Amino acid sequence: MPKLFAFGRYVLFFWVGEDGEPVHVHISVKRPEKQSTKVWLTGNGGCLVANNASRIPERDLNDMLEFIALNHAWICERWSETFGELRFYC
């Protein structure tokens, strides 16, 4: 799984094998896992939580959402390099 960032005890990554889905990242504790929190990136430079399967505390999750939004363009570049097509959830 392509790891994007380490953010404290959390890792942000792409889960390979989700072809055709809009741009999103996964977040889990310490290492990439299938049951992870999923965050959609939006076309306007923001992001939305799809699920919080990792049960990340709200305060930490809000910090990560801010971090993801600040790195939106870079994440989209990595997505294009990894998956090709760049589509947004909304």
Looking at residue 16, what is its pLDDT? Answer: 84
Domain ranges, ordered by start, for the chain: 3-83
Residues of the chain with pLDDT under 70: 1
Q: Is 7 helix (H, G, I), strand (E, B) or coil?
A: strand
Looking at residue 18, what is its pLDDT? Answer: 75
* CA dist., res. 79 & res. 55, Å (int): 25
pLDDT in tens, 3-20: 899 988 999 999 987 778
Is residue 23 within 8 A of residue 41, CB to CB? The reply is yes
